Amino acid sequence: MPKRIRDKQAPDASDRLRAAGLRPTRQRLELAGLLFGMGDRHLTAEGLHAEARAAGCKVSLATVYNTLHQFTGAGLLRQVMVDASRSHFDTNTGSHQHFYCEDEGRLIDIPGEAVAVSGVPKPPQGMAVDRVDVVIRLRRA
């Protein structure tokens, strides 16, 4: 089994963090493992903190908040505004939209470019569109 040299591998978690200008600390690596190790996820800060503690990872709530904001700033996460009382973070940073179950507080991805928004007027002078967010609020049928 020949070992290939200079093989371009998927950068590991440490390298991803370093590329974002963040030191690969134990806490960040463990949180990144929970966030990115199991497909697309939607989490709150307290949810991630509880999950980390349950996984035996010693990390404070302040670090969870710090990390979520740092990852968001680095483009590894996106923040979704659906609920007045809790921030939701999305590991899927691609362009997509959401169903939101009000009663469960649960976000569900609507994949890819499924949703199209048309008829948006020109923004006011001096303003440019940053992002178009679509939230489809659901209730029990």
Could you tell me the smallest distance in angstroms from the CB atom of residue 114 to Zn ion? 12
Interface ranges with Zn ion (CB under 5 A): 90, 92, 109
Stretch that binds DNA, among 4-12, 66-74, 99-107, 119-127 (CB under 7 A): 66-74
Cα separation, 94 vs 13, whole angstroms: 19
Buried b (16+ CB within 10 A) or exposed e, 95-125: ebbbebeeeeeebebeeeeeeeeeeeeeeee
| Binding partner of 105, given a second copy, Zn ion, Mn ion, none, CB within 5-8 angstroms per partner class | Mn ion
Which x/- pattern, by CB under 5 A, does the window 92-111 give for Mn ion? -------------x-x----
Residues at the contact surface with Mn ion, assessed by CB under 5 A: 88, 105, 107
